[in-house]
Structure 1
Amino acid sequence: MNSAPAGTDIGTGCPVAEGRVPLYGPEFTANPARVYERLREQGQTALVELAPGVPATLVVGYDAALEVLRDPGEFPRDGRRWAATVPEDCPVLPVMSYRPNCLMTDGAEHARLRGVITESLARVDPNKVRAHVEATADMLINQFAQRGSADLLTEYAVALPLWVFTFLHGCPRDVGERMVTGMRDIVDMRDPERANEQLTAALLELIALKRREPAQDMASWMMEHPAQLTDEEILHQLFLMLGAGTEPEANLIANALRLLLSDYRFAGYVAGGSMRIEDALDEVLWTDPPVANLSASYPVRDVVVAGRRLPADQPVVISYAAANTDPGFGVEHRSGNRAHLAWGAGPHACPVQGQARMVASIAIEKLLDRLPDLTLAVPVEDLPWRESPFLRALAGLPVTFTPVRAVETAPPTAPMPVVPGADRPIAPLPAATGKRWMHTIIRWWRGQ
């Protein structure tokens, strides 16, 4: 190993530029692409702050990102040693600190936990999911179709993945809404400890229901799996699936609609039939991926990547947004090209990317078919963005259109059996158990 100090360029010995580039604040939120361009001046990795006083290395090069993602031996996902060094109120902790799920474990434990998810997913009937998504899309559009205006983010892009999640897991609607609210507040770093407690409480309600009344759904199948996960392990897998299945999906739908409504060339290809919606999604996944910066790993020793020594126990975060637009990678045609890293790579690559594409494709096709003259209600440059170092996410997508009549459609819950007892209050876990779990979750959050 070269003995150059951490944070220096191997071969030159020159110190990296003083200060770190913040992945927060108005400049980053308004134009992250400009910030990534500046970061590339440091090479394939760059020194950043995820939040005030929270240093990290951001991987901005495509080749370097693949190197890190494919090598869990050098770049493990367990960040408990790092979490123990940051303040308890650190705003990025709820997203980045260790949870015993398949995203934040490696080796045999990762394989065990991931197997529960992938094998349960394999039992889902894709035709029933498609029918549910189509019915849900029509139902949501019916709610604003006769009004002539809508916020497609809150009324459509966010709502649809929530309905899909509750459908797949047999989750009562009100519990699902509390889950999504808690997850969004965690990602946006709005009172994250309160949000973490709210989300945990909702997940515990779902687990209690499924233990009492199992049904033909993902949550029940995960509990029945031969791996015999404990309820605490089920809790953390559900946390991961909720985070991966709602926030990024909503952002993919909204970002794709933003592109279609602001880029007339692109929209013309889709409207003219020369480009499929599913292929068009790749344009968004290349240039505006819904998860911009995530997949943190924590080297247990100093390691060299792309000529720079990265210090042990400091987060190494993959910038999917920067890596996908790396000028050195030189992608000329993006539509239909799936070499992007938006779904990750290596052993932690997203296992449900096919389903995510299907949901987004149906959502966009249904909307354009029902409301063909959709128009942004404000100039595209005035659309608001959420402030988050992790997501490229709109805060609103207001549109106008010619009002149309509602259409008759089957209830969205029809494809799956109704969950027994889903229409009555869920019996909570015993108070002592709930408090113990909540305390355990907070300790995990704090890296203790």
Structure 2
Amino acid sequence: MQSHSENQAPPPGCPAHNSGKSVPLHGPDFAADPQAFYEYLRQHGPAAPVELAPGVEASLVTDYAAALHVLQNPDTFARDARRWRALNEGEIPPDSPILPMMAYRPNCLFSDGADHLRLRQAVTESLAKIDTHRLSRHTDRVATYLIDQFSSRGKADLVSDYAQLVPLLVFNDLFGCPAEIGDRLVFGISSLFDGVDAEKANEVLTESLLELVALKRAKPGDDVTSWLMQHQARLTDEEMIHQLVTLIGAGTEPTQNIIASALRLLLSDDKYAGGQHAAGLLVEDAINDVLWNSPPIANYAVHYPMYDVDLSGSKLDAGDPVVISFAAANTDPSLSVSRQTLSKRAHLAWGAGPHACPAKDPALLISVMAIEKLLNSLPDIELGVHANSLSWRPGPIHRALNALPARFTPVRREKRASAPQPSTSRTLGNAPVQPQHAAQKGTWWSGFLSWWKV
């Protein structure tokens, strides 16, 4: 079916060459060159055996047509993780870093049938109430604040100083988070995706959302949390928490990866670099390039066959995880010709079918505005290192840069008082947190609120 040789060797670092077992997608070799892994996996047919984390196996769908088939047939491929055979039989390590991303939650991502319809309606109808003008204004304020923190230095890491923070702070506003809750949400969401003490991150996230739900029950506001609560679906507190986990996580992580990856292209690719960086068409073209060729969520949308299935020659067992590789499907060699005529939106970066991402419109608006604001504010910005030296965060789910160093002419700060800088270490409960990537974001939300009130 594919043009690759059946004798093609596994990519560097892949133990499949010697063991014949599932190919691991959780190490630095995969992060460094995922396309080499996808090319090798395509030899197995439309779905191939992979390891998502130590001891956690799944089938990865790498074929575009097969991915669409799985995504669009919920009667055959369910999303409810309570069907996960290996987890039910005690074969999955309880401390697995990927478990919080795969285990069942009572939300629209992990539900089917009538339950999914009820929860999905609550989510889509609540998100539909977002005022795009308000969203635009707040994105501009957040971007202005963040740029103000580093513009006088003449250099910045556009990942940790900007791309990771813009969506987190914007979503805190959309969901009506006060400072003390918002700070913990920033930590919890960031750490969960990074795999930094996932158990602790999940605990912090759950506790902060419990407080947010209790606050909005007592004093509803003009925000997504309150709209979800007031919806005719009558969500319980547990359902509220898990809807919010999905919405905030699914809204922030992809958005920050789109911003960072698109900036990488705009600052390094000859197709975009030079000339008018901030031209709207260039920004949108770069984002579309990312969504096709380096989607922010590379491998996810876990499904569980209701019964043993033959997927175009690949045997899938009932209850075993089937993961959609949006990245591999989008770059399926069989699309090399048809991609020229396909709609720009024919990529699978946002999923497809009944579980397609409901927050893509806010995510795209935030991404475009954040990028344009940065490039207009710092017109001579350029990469601080060679593009080939950039590295990517390990993990099977996201496609995310570790860092994006940039340099520019320092900008003299306005005399407006700046916010308190985030601390380099803080305490969660009784557990000290070291000054890692996520922990450093601990006080950004309260810092922004203080800055805006000045």
TM-score category (smaller protein): 0.7 to 0.9
**SS in structure 2 of the partner of residue 58 of structure 1:** strand
How far apart in 1 are the matches of 2:254 and 2:280? 27
**SS in structure 1 of the partner of residue 233 of structure 2:** coil
Q: CA deviation at 1:297?
A: 0.6
1:180 match: 186
> Are 2:307 and 1:304 aligned?
no
Matches of residues 111-190 of structure 1 in structure 2 within 5 Å? 111-190=117-196
How far apart in 2 are the matches of 1:328 and 1:268? 33
Contact 2:277 2:379 (C-alpha < 8 Å) held by counterparts: no
- Residues 220 and 27 of structure 1, relative CA distance in 2, 3 Å threshold: same
Matches of residues 256-275 of structure 1 in structure 2 within 5 Å? 256-268=262-274, 271=277, 273=279, 275=281
- Residues 398 and 199 of structure 1, relative CA distance in 2, 3 Å threshold: same
2:38 match: 36
**SS in structure 2 of the partner of residue 246 of structure 1:** helix
Q: Which stretch has the larger CA shift, 18-27 or 308-317?
A: 18-27
> Are 2:63 and 1:61 aligned?
yes
> Are 2:386 and 1:379 aligned?
yes
Matches of residues 3-14 of structure 1 in structure 2 within 5 Å? none
> Are 2:21 and 1:19 aligned?
yes
Contact 1:48 1:58 (C-alpha < 8 Å) held by counterparts: yes
**SS in structure 2 of the partner of residue 384 of structure 1:** coil
Q: CA deviation at 1:136?
A: 1.6
Aligned length: 396
**SS in structure 1 of the partner of residue 101 of structure 2:** helix
How far apart in 2 are the matches of 1:274 and 1:138? 18
Structure with higher RCO (Cα < 8 A, 6+ apart) = 1
1:293 match: 299
Contact 1:170 1:219 (C-alpha < 8 Å) held by counterparts: yes
**SS in structure 1 of the partner of residue 334 of structure 2:** coil
Q: CA deviation at 1:88?
A: 1.6
TM-score by length of 2: 0.83
- Residues 408 and 33 of structure 1, relative CA distance in 2, 3 Å threshold: farther
Identity across the alignment (%): 52
2:101 match: 95
- Name the aligned partner's letter for residue 22 of structure 2: R
1:52 match: 54
Contact 1:283 1:334 (C-alpha < 8 Å) held by counterparts: no
1:84 match: 88
Q: CA deviation at 1:188?
A: 2.8
How far apart in 1 are the matches of 2:143 and 2:314? 48
How far apart in 2 are the matches of 1:375 and 1:50? 35
How far apart in 1 are the matches of 2:275 and 2:53? 40
Q: CA deviation at 1:407?
A: 5.9
Q: Which stretch has the larger CA shift, 62-71 or 130-139?
A: 130-139
How far apart in 2 are the matches of 1:357 and 1:274? 13
How far apart in 1 are the matches of 2:70 and 2:220? 40
1:415 match: none
Q: Which stretch has the larger CA shift, 132-141 or 230-239?
A: 132-141
**SS in structure 2 of the partner of residue 328 of structure 1:** helix
Q: CA deviation at 1:225?
A: 1.0
Contact 1:286 1:334 (C-alpha < 8 Å) held by counterparts: no
- Residues 19 and 306 of structure 1, relative CA distance in 2, 3 Å threshold: same
Q: CA deviation at 1:189?
A: 2.6
**SS in structure 1 of the partner of residue 272 of structure 2:** helix
Contact 2:266 2:277 (C-alpha < 8 Å) held by counterparts: no
**SS in structure 1 of the partner of residue 109 of structure 2:** coil
- Name the aligned partner's letter for residue 60 of structure 1: T
- Name the aligned partner's letter for residue 399 of structure 1: A
- Name the aligned partner's letter for residue 36 of structure 1: Y
How far apart in 2 are the matches of 1:77 and 1:235? 19
- Name the aligned partner's letter for residue 306 of structure 1: S
> Are 2:197 and 1:197 aligned?
no
Contact 1:157 1:254 (C-alpha < 8 Å) held by counterparts: yes
How far apart in 2 are the matches of 1:274 and 1:370? 14
**SS in structure 2 of the partner of residue 241 of structure 1:** helix
Q: Which stretch has the larger CA shift, 207-216 or 69-78?
A: 207-216
Contact 1:280 1:336 (C-alpha < 8 Å) held by counterparts: no
* Deviation readout 1:146-184 (Å, 9 max, x if unpaired): 110111111111111011111111102332232232223
Q: 96, 107, 110: which is aligned to 1:104?
A: 110
Q: Which stretch has the larger CA shift, 59-68 or 254-263?
A: 254-263
Contact 1:23 1:49 (C-alpha < 8 Å) held by counterparts: yes
Q: 370, 376, 381: which is aligned to 1:369?
A: 376
- Name the aligned partner's letter for residue 303 of structure 1: V
How far apart in 1 are the matches of 2:204 and 2:67? 34
Q: CA deviation at 1:332?
A: 4.6
Q: CA deviation at 1:91?
A: 2.2
Contact 1:59 1:323 (C-alpha < 8 Å) held by counterparts: yes
| Unpaired stretches in structure 1, ≥5 consecutive residues | 1-16, 413-448
Contact 2:280 2:372 (C-alpha < 8 Å) held by counterparts: no
> Alignment RMSD, CA only?
2.2
Q: Which stretch has the larger CA shift, 25-34 or 324-333?
A: 324-333
- Name the aligned partner's letter for residue 189 of structure 1: G
Q: CA deviation at 1:270?
A: 6.1
- Residues 49 and 256 of structure 1, relative CA distance in 2, 3 Å threshold: same
- Residues 42 and 268 of structure 1, relative CA distance in 2, 3 Å threshold: farther
